[in-house]
Structure 1
Amino acid sequence: MKNHIVSAFRLTLVMLVVAGIYLGIVYGVSKVLPTHGNAELINYKGQKFYANIGQEFRSEKYFHGRPSAVNYNAAGSAGSNKGPSNEEYLETVQKRIDTLRMKNPEMERMKIPVELATASGSGLDPDISEEGALYQARRIAKARDLSEEQIRNLINHQTEKPLLGLFGPSKINVLKLNIALNQLK
């Protein structure tokens, strides 16, 4: 019995050290990142916005982000937990696709980027792909009476490339993109 208690105590100490080292590494890496492991706050027209949390944009004059399973409520971050074989989920995705096609009729023949029709695991993803932004470019150019070339240049300028050119996909923060869009005129 004594041997088991001593072994369990040793294992507990080893695991505490391993977990502590892991947490120290994660903390250290977070402090090297651009936001230093903190939320990214943006002040715009006297209001504060969190760039790390998806925002809802309904107007046709703005880029739309990923759909949210929690209606963009940061206090209730969650996915829908419905798989691709769930009929209700498939109906929801089809409604999103139909809405996208209706709002972007000139893109009828183009493939819809997946992030515009499906919610993220957290329901609060602030980013879309470059393809997701380009899919919406014509609608926004038309709604704002701008050239599509201006919108494409803005998208290109706002695209964040992968970390060190290797880690992660290219992405665009929808809030930052829409603020830059407001500053075009």
Structure 2
Amino acid sequence: MNTLKKILPRAAVIFLIFTLLCGVVYTAVVTGAAQLIFPHQANGSIIEVDGKRYGSELLGQQYTDDAHMWGRIMNIDVSTYRDQDGKTLMYASPSNLSPASEEYGELVAERVEKLRAANPDEANTAVPVDLVTCSGSGLDPHISPAAAEYQVSRLARANQMTEDDIRAIIDRCTEGRFLGLFGEETVNVLKVNLMLDGILK
């Protein structure tokens, strides 16, 4: 009993100290440093123009019309969750289908058919794999330069622009390898589409 009386106050003090250090001090230092050094990234990498927010550079948005660049497949669900006001909440997730499954093959074939129909000038070009597959998160905002190039002729025609104009936009929205070494070059689909709409300059 005497041992317990000695241990409990010490344990309580240690608990409070580590709660303050790990839950308050550490959090405040990391948050403050992030806001100071990387404020754009720390606040969600939001694309904002004239006070209006159009989305995050880190989250994909679904486009299916001819005048906009298409991104990767998104598994969107609007039937499961609702907020406290009863409004539908949208969320996306990766596909759990096996690449060897028949259903997966049918989905890929359907997507290839849609891409072929939307981009008839690329009939002799293989459809880039990232345009017919889902990313790990289901919300990847990027596609490969090859996937962007595949859509150039359609975008030029639908937006009454030259193919060189479209490629110039793609170049401006292309992100290089991390530290010049890791990963691959990618194209941010949302930025391209906002430039096509004249929102981003």
TM-score range, shorter chain: 0.7 to 0.9
**What TM-score do the two structures reach when normalised by structure 1?**
0.76
Per-residue deviation at 1:135? 0.5
The SS at the match of 2:151 is helix
Tell me the alpha carbon deviations over residues 115-146 of structure 1, each in whole angstroms, 9 at most, x when there is no partner: 11111121111111111111000001011111
2:145/2:185 contact within 8 Å kept: yes
Change (3 A) 1:33 1:135: farther
Per-residue deviation at 1:44? 4.1
Long gaps (5+) in structure 1:
1-19
Q: How many residues align?
A: 162
Structure 1 or 2, whichever has the larger Rg, is 2
The aligned residue for residue 64 of structure 1 is: 70
2:71/2:131 contact within 8 Å kept: yes
Equivalent position amino acid for 1:126 in 2: P
The aligned residue for residue 157 of structure 1 is: 172
Per-residue deviation at 1:180? 1.4
Tell me the alpha carbon deviations over residues 13-47 of structure 1, each in whole angstroms, 9 at most, x when there is no partner: xxxxxxx8xx99xx69x946684444111124764
Alignment of 1:96-135 (within 5 A): 96-135=111-150
Instruction: State the alpha-carbon separation in 2 of the partners of residues 137 and 103 from structure 1.
Output: 11
2:97/2:104 contact within 8 Å kept: yes
Percent identity reads 37
Tell me the alpha carbon deviations over residues 62-88 of structure 1, each in whole angstroms, 9 at most, x when there is no partner: 101111122599853321111111111
Long gaps (5+) in structure 2:
1-21, 79-87
Instruction: State the alpha-carbon separation in 2 of the partners of residues 76 and 42 from structure 1.
Output: 20
Instruction: State the alpha-carbon separation in 2 of the partners of residues 74 and 164 from structure 1.
Output: 36
The SS at the match of 1:90 is helix
Instruction: State the alpha-carbon separation in 2 of the partners of residues 36 and 47 from structure 1.
Output: 18
The aligned residue for residue 42 of structure 1 is: 47
1:79/1:121 contact within 8 Å kept: yes
- 2:196 maps to 1:181: yes
Instruction: State the alpha-carbon separation in 2 of the partners of residues 38 and 113 from structure 1.
Output: 32
Per-residue deviation at 1:50? 2.5
The aligned residue for residue 143 of structure 1 is: 158
1:106/1:138 contact within 8 Å kept: yes
Out of 48, 53, 61, which is 1:55 matched to?
A: 61
1:127/1:172 contact within 8 Å kept: yes
**What TM-score do the two structures reach when normalised by structure 2?**
0.70
1:39/1:50 contact within 8 Å kept: no
Equivalent position amino acid for 2:69 in 1: F
More strand by share: 2
2:72/2:131 contact within 8 Å kept: yes
Change (3 A) 1:63 1:181: same
2:144/2:186 contact within 8 Å kept: yes
Comparing 167-176 and 135-144, the one that deviates more: 167-176
